[in-house]
Structures are given as C-alpha cells and as structure tokens.
Amino acid sequence: MRAAVCAALSALGVAMLAGCSLVPAYQRPSAPLAAGFDGAAGASLADTVPIRSGWWREYHDPALDALVDRSLHNNFTLASAIASVEQARGNAEKAGAPQYPSLLLDATFDRSHQGRGSTTKTQSLFAEASYEIDFWGFNAANASAADLLARASEFDRDTVALTLTASVADTYFQVQSLRRRLAIARSISDDAARILQLLLAQQEAGVATELQVQQQRNALATFQAAVPALQQQLDTNIHALAVLVGAAPEQFTVNDTALAGIAIPQPGPNLPASLLETRPDIRSKEAQLQSANESVGAARAAFLPNIVLTADGGLSSKSLSHFLSSPFASLATSLAAPLFDGGALRGQLHASQAAEAKGVADYRQAVVTALQDVEDSLSAAQQQQLAEAADQTAADAARKAATLAQAQYKLGTVDFLTVLDAQRTLYQAEDTLVQARLARLQASVSLFRAFGGGFGVTDSGTASTSTPSRS
C-alpha cells in the first residue's frame, strides 16, 4: 500500500510540473482618460483637503460623525452587502476545492444468513484518494474566476458603504436646511401677523383701508401655508435618516446644528487616471472582467482530456481475528476526453467569450460615467459657491430694505405695498440663501463620493469583517 501511494505522488508531481494554462493574458482595457479634469483647471488648491476614508469628518460636525458611524454598523443594506462578500468567499472556497486531492474513508460490515443457520460476516475498512491532474488549468481557472468574483463583491460592498455615507451626509444637511427654512417661514409669518394687527388698529383709526388689510391677510396666509409643507419635508427626511442608520422612524431625533456654521471642505481633485484605482465601482467591474477572462480559459481547457489518479487501500476480512492481516491496495489512472457533446462545450466557450466582451464594455462605461460624475461635481461645487455669494448679497440687501420699508411706513413716507413687497422679497431671499448653502454642502459630498471617498470605506471598521449589529 505504501508503494502504491508513493507511485501516485510521483505521478502527481510530474503531472503538476507539466501543467499549463489556457487563460488569455489579461490587459486592462483602454479608456478615454484626459490629463486632467476641465472643472479643476481654474480651481485653487490652496484650501483643499485630501480625499481619504472617513471624509465626512472634514465637516467637523460631531453629530454627523455619530450618524455615519452608526449607519456603518447598523444599516441593513450594508449588512446584506457584507453577507454577500462572505457568500462569494464561500463559493470561491468551493470552486477551489478540485485543485486538491480528495480523501474518502469508509467502513462496511456485512452479515448474511444462508441455509441451515449458516451466517457469513464480512468487515472492511478502506481509504480512497483521488486527484484530477489540472494539466490544462481548468480547475485553476475556475478557482481564480471565483476568487475574482469574491473580490468584486468586496468592491461592491465598498460602493454600498460609500453611497450610504454620502446619503447620510446629504440627508443630514437636508434636515438642518429644512429646520432653518422652517424657522425663517415662522419668523416671517410672525412679522406678517404683527403688521396685520397694526393695520387693523390703523383701520379702526381710519388710517388704513380694507384693501390693505385684505392684502396683508393674503400675505400672512401665504407665509403660513409654507410652514406645514416644510414641516412635512423635514419629517420625511428625518424618517429617511432613521432608516439609513438602521433605526425605526418613531422617536428618532437629530441634533440641531446651525447650517451656516458647518464647514464646507473642498476636496483636492485627483487626476482622471486615479479613478481606476480609487472608485470601487470601477474596481468591481474590472474584477468581474478578469473573472470572465479566467472563465474563457476554463472553457478552452474543457475541450481537452483530463487525467484522474485514484489510489485506495485498506483492510478486509471475514473474521476480526484476521482483520489486520488482510490488507489490500490499488492504484489507477483514468483518461477522459470529450468526443461528441452536441455543441455544449463550444456553446460554453462562446458564452464565456461574450461575457468577457460584455465585461470590457461595462468597464469602459463605468470609467466614462465616473469621469462625468467628477466633472458634474466639480462644476456644481464651483458654481454653487458663486451662487451662494450672490444670494448672500441679495439677502443682506433684502433685509435692509425690509427694515427701511417698515420704518418709513410707520412715518408715512411709503405706502403699504412697498412694505408688502419688501416682506416677500426678504422671505424669498433668506429661503434661497439657505437652499444655496445646502447645495454647496451637498456638492462637496458629491465630490468626495465621485473621487471614491478615500476607497475602502469599510476596510478600517468593524463593518468589513463582521455583520453589523442591531443594537
């Protein structure tokens, strides 16, 4: 038996040395990459911050930091993505198993009755080892394809984590913006109510007209109508934020933060070529493409014969007393080659080649989409900064105009329509300014996400190695 095993191992070593691979040589597909981004050409790099994991901390808002950390531990969509990684890794382990020998241990006990009370007993214990020589690299290609799909699932997990953190930041800023807009709407409504009371008093004194009173009633009702609409939007965003952090919407609260006090970081723009390494969605597409390339090699190898070595040995006897003195062993080699399969192997090869071509197209599409994403985000960041500056000037002027209009109206130097117009202009200007601030914050979030968010958002946290908790 020892000699048979040694012979099998020797044959195995020779076969492994002679093995080869039919996997095509992989080359990263070319993509339309420029030397730099158009949107970054005129931008100043003086105050930019590097794009790294934990980018949301650049806003220096502890409440936001806590919410993002909570989402990375408790979000159910991210938990599903992490479980998908473990599933893909398990499939990769299964796909890699044929590369190694298999060993089976079996024992039998047989008892049979014959005529006149005669009984025959037979017992045996044997082990069987088998190994398929991967001469053409079929098993290695399948194992590598599965490993690359597992790697792609890790990049998909990072894409989910990056999208999640950006969504938390966007929604958090939206909540703070709506709170400010709600406060402005209530303030302007209170001012309108006080002016209405003044008009009613003036009407009793014969100074104000019924027309002026009704005009102010209309303005007051218009301002008041904005309050429930904004409150509904605020409630909806708080509920959305609760779901993002894995909590039930009921009794969920968000700390109040002054929107104007939140820093707006300017991410430093990387070169277009860097996206190939920093965008997890692009890395996922490339890993899928590499997996398809390995599958083409496996489909090619399937046309060629395969060799299987088997060795077994054990003990068998009709009596336990002679059990150890009855060993047996055998060594066998089998060769199997496909002759006719109705075109199944050819069809599999064509399907694998088509999957590879699809992977090339998907990869290139992911690259150009990422380039568009960055250019859009750069443009938004620059233009929203200009828009906020203009809106700030408009709001300052509207505030001064409203103050002057009310003072001059009390002195009788301007008519009521001037006050009414000043009120509406002030409300619109302040509301627009808050929305401009929100747009700038969300544009910076979009820029962090467009550059990959520091890539590997979950690599340094517990979410990368375990399923998020539900506490």
The DSSP output letter for 127 is E
User: Could you identify the residue written with the tokens 């218009």?
Assistant: 222
* Domain 31-100+138-303+344-464 part of CATH 1.20.1600.10: yes
Q: Are the C-beta atoms of residues 269 and 37 closer than 8 Å to each other?
A: yes
Strand 266-267 relative to strand 119-133: parallel, antiparallel, unpaired? unpaired
> SS3 for 269?
coil
Residue 292, pLDDT score? 95
Q: What is the CA radius of gyration of the chain?
A: 36
Per-residue confidence at 70, pLDDT binned at 50, 70, 90? very high
Residues 247, 158: Cα–Cα separation, whole Å: 21
pTM: 0.83
Q: What is the rounded average pLDDT of the residues 69-75?
A: 94
Residue 55, pLDDT score? 93
* pLDDT tens track for 435-454: 999 999 999 999 999 999 88
pLDDT(12) > 70: no
Longest Cα–Cα distance of the chain, Å, equals 133
* pLDDT tens track for 268-279: 888 889 889 989
Lowest mean pLDDT among 16-30, 230-244, 248-262: 16-30
Q: What is the rounded average pLDDT of the residues 404-426?
A: 85
> Which residues are CB-neighbours of 204 under 8 A, at least 6 positions away?
none
Residue 28, pLDDT score? 93
- State which H helix or E strand residue 266 sits in: strand 266-267
Q: Are the C-beta atoms of residues 98 and 139 closer than 8 Å to each other?
A: yes
> Which residues are CB-neighbours of 375 under 8 A, at least 6 positions away?
37, 38, 39
Q: Are the C-beta atoms of residues 157 and 81 closer than 8 Å to each other?
A: yes
Q: Which residues pair with 110 in a beta bridge?
A: 122
* pLDDT tens track for 126-149: 677 888 888 888 889 989 999 999
The DSSP output letter for 40 is G
pLDDT(468) > 50: no
Q: What is the rounded average pLDDT of the residues 54-62?
A: 93
Residues 282, 276: Cα–Cα separation, whole Å: 6
Tell me the CA distances in angstroms from 406 to 5, 188, 203, 413, one per residue in order: 103, 13, 17, 10
Q: Could you give the percent of the chain with pLDDT greater than 90?
A: 50
CA neighbor of 368 nearest in space, from 25, 29, 50: 29
Q: What is the rounded average pLDDT of the residues 218-226?
A: 91
Lowest mean pLDDT among 116-120, 180-184, 389-393: 116-120
Where are the chain's structural domains?
Answer: 1-28+101-133+305-337, 31-100+138-303+344-464
Residue 218, pLDDT score? 92
Query: DSSP per residue over 31-83, as a string?
Result: ----SS-GGGTT---TTEE---TTGGGGG--HHHHHHHHHHHHH-HHHHHHHH
Per-residue confidence at 363, pLDDT binned at 50, 70, 90? very high
- State which H helix or E strand residue 371 sits in: helix 344-411
Per-residue confidence at 461, pLDDT binned at 50, 70, 90? very low
The one-letter code for the residue type at 292 is A
Q: What is the rounded average pLDDT of the residues 293-299?
A: 93
CA neighbor of 129 nearest in space, from 24, 1, 35, 268: 1
Residue 9, pLDDT score? 42
100: left (phi over 0), alpha (psi -120 to 50) or beta: beta
Per-residue confidence at 203, pLDDT binned at 50, 70, 90? confident
Q: Are the C-beta atoms of residues 51 and 436 closer than 8 Å to each other?
A: no
User: Could you identify the residue written with the tokens 């017992």?
Assistant: 123
Q: What is the rounded average pLDDT of the residues 410-430?
A: 86
Q: Which residues pair with 102 in a beta bridge?
A: 130
Pick the more confident residue, 374 or 319. Answer: 374
pLDDT(458) > 80: no
401: Cα within 13 Å, side-chain hemisphere: 18
Q: 118 — phi, psi (to 5°)? A: -75, 135
CA neighbor of 456 nearest in space, from 155, 186, 216: 155
Tell me the CA distances in angstroms from 344 to 80, 98, 117, 316, 338, one per residue in order: 35, 22, 56, 43, 10
Residue 129, pLDDT score? 80
Lowest mean pLDDT among 215-224, 242-251, 284-293, 412-421: 412-421
User: Could you identify the residue written with the tokens 């894409």?
Assistant: 159
> Which residues are CB-neighbours of 298 under 8 A, at least 6 positions away?
23, 137, 138, 141, 142, 145, 352
Q: What is the rounded average pLDDT of the residues 150-164?
A: 94
Cβ neighbours of 315 (radius 10 Å)? 17
The one-letter code for the residue type at 109 is F
Looking at domain 1-28+101-133+305-337, its CATH class is: mainly beta
Residue 465, pLDDT score? 37
Q: Could you give the percent of the chain with pLDDT greater than 70?
A: 84
Average pLDDT, the chain: 84
